[in-house]
Amino acid sequence: MNVDKDLEKEVLTRLLHAHPNGLGKEVLDNYRGEKVVASALASLQDRGLIHHGHVTLSEAGEHSLNLPIKLSAAGVEAAQKLDQQ
């Protein structure tokens, strides 16, 4: 699935500015819907930008989140670059 770059930037920025413990269910708040945001989080996890194991995919193809969601070191770096643009 192609991830919307604007959504990805929004999610990374929100995680960058989140409490050090990460974001809970509020990370899903977006007009595009929870499923789209969960898919974006899965893409970020696949690329190593959020901690591994926080997004899983069920046999039915539904994403499940293990909250809180936190950026990895690479994710912080990527989010900082986007935040400066």
Domain 5-83 belongs to what architecture?
Answer: Orthogonal Bundle (1.10)
- Render the burial of 56-85: b for 16+ CB within 10 Å, e for the rest: eeeeeeebebeebbbbbeebeebbeeeeee
Q: What pLDDT shows up at residue 50?
A: 97
In a 13 Å sphere around the CA of 13, the CA atoms on its Cβ side amount to: 11
What SS3 string covers 30-42?
A: CCCCHHHHHHHHH
Global model pTM greater than 0.85? yes
Over residues 48-80, the pLDDT tens digits come to: 999 998 999 999 989 999 999 999 999 999 999
